[in-house]
């Protein structure tokens, strides 16, 4: 079964999913084996690989190395079309719906399409909504877009619904990596109550309690990047989850 099907089935059964995000630019090759061990010990159900700007040319090698050991799906989370590796299992085919930069709405997708056609990657159309988080994050800087005001719940909902109507299969509510404030829980709740497609929530989630709260609010997948990057023991107290 496809990765997307697994996600929708988990949603139907109210099973929550957890993704670790690794940014190839922040990885030191000599630490990869140790990192893989930590991911294996973690409760992660998916591994996201990508970043706003990846200059490191290790993507293919990194994914091959991850695949050699890990059994969880490896899903690309690209900042631009240079971050495509045929060795991954799937790709979040993102459209930055909160922004008004045509490059991130359609231009990069046009560039990526013929590349993706030559791979066996599962392409998962994902509406990507960036929410203002109290600090400038790399996504806003690199995409040159304005995040949506965290108080404008109606606008976020309309954006999410437009994404669903356009055929997006997933919706990603993003506060940005290293966000000061994570996605507000009432926002997750509102979106979850008003759209059918699974919701990914990430950015600035640094405690196990925040993970649980995001799930309770209606997140289907929670993404952890920085917290795990800074502390490989982050998931050790997982019995609390």
Q: Which residues are annotated as a binding site?
A: 23, 52, 172-178, 203-204, 225-226
| Nearest to ligand 1GP of 64, 136 (CB atom) | 136
Which residues in this chain contact ligand 1GP in the complex, by CB under 6 A?
A: 21, 174, 177-179, 202-205, 223-227
Instruction: In angstroms, give the least distance from the CB of 109 to ligand 1GP.
Output: 18
The residue at minimum Cβ distance from ligand 1GP is 202
Report which of 13, 82, 83 is spatially closest to residue 48, judged by C-alpha positions: 83
Instruction: In angstroms, give the least distance from the CB of 117 to ligand 1GP.
Output: 26
| Nearest to ligand 1GP of 121, 200 (CB atom) | 200
Q: Which residues are annotated as a binding site for Mg(2+)?
A: 23, 52
Round to whole Å and give the CA distance between 215 and 57.
35
Report which of 216, 219, 136 is spatially closest to residue 173, judged by C-alpha positions: 219
127-to-79, 217, 236 alpha-carbon distances in Å = 14, 19, 32
Q: Which residues are annotated as a binding site for sn-glycerol 1-phosphate?
A: 172-178, 203-204, 225-226
32-to-58, 65, 116, 232 alpha-carbon distances in Å = 11, 8, 26, 12
Reduce the secondary structure of 99-155 to three states and give it as a string.
CCCHHHHHHHHHHHHHHHHCCCCEEEEEEEEEECCCCCCHHHHHHCCCCECCCCHHH
| Nearest to ligand 1GP of 66, 179 (CB atom) | 179
Round to whole Å and give the CA distance between 126 and 78.
12
Instruction: In angstroms, give the least distance from the CB of 147 to ligand 1GP.
Output: 12
| Nearest to ligand 1GP of 24, 204 (CB atom) | 204
94 phi, psi to nearest 5 deg: -85, 145
Instruction: In angstroms, give the least distance from the CB of 28 to ligand 1GP.
Output: 17
Instruction: In angstroms, give the least distance from the CB of 21 to ligand 1GP.
Output: 5
| Nearest to ligand 1GP of 9, 207 (CB atom) | 207
């Amino acid at each position: 079964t496809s990765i997307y099907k697994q996600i929708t089935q988990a949603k139907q059964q109210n099973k929550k999913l957890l993704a670790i995000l690794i940014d190839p630019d922040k990885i030191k090759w000599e630490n990869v084996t140790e990192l893989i061990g930590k991911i294996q010990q973690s409760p992660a159900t998916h591994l996201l690989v990508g970043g706003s700007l990846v200059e490191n040319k290790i993507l293919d090698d990194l994914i091959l190395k991850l695949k050699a050991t890990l059994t969880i799906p490896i899903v690309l989370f690209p900042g631009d079309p240079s971050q495509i590796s045929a060795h991954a299992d799937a790709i979040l085919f993102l459209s930055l719906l909160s922004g008004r930069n045509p490059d991130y709405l359609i231009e990069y997708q046009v560039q990526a399409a013929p590349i993706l056609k030559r791979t066996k990657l599962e392409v998962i159309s994902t509406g990507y909504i960036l929410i203002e988080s109290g600090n400038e994050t790399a996504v806003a800087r690199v995409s040159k877009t304005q995040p949506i005001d965290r108080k404008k719940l109606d606008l976020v909902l309309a954006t999410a619904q437009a994404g669903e109507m356009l055929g997006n299969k997933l919706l990603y509510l993003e506060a940005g990596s290293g966000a000061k404030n994570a996605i507000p829980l009432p926002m997750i709740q509102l979106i979850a109550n008003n759209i059918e497609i699974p919701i990914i929530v990430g950015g600035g989630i640094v405690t196990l309690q925040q993970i649980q709260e995001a799930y309770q609010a209606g997140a289907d997948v929670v993404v952890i990047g920085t917290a795990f990057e800074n502390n490989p023991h982050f998931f050790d107290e997982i019995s609390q989850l």
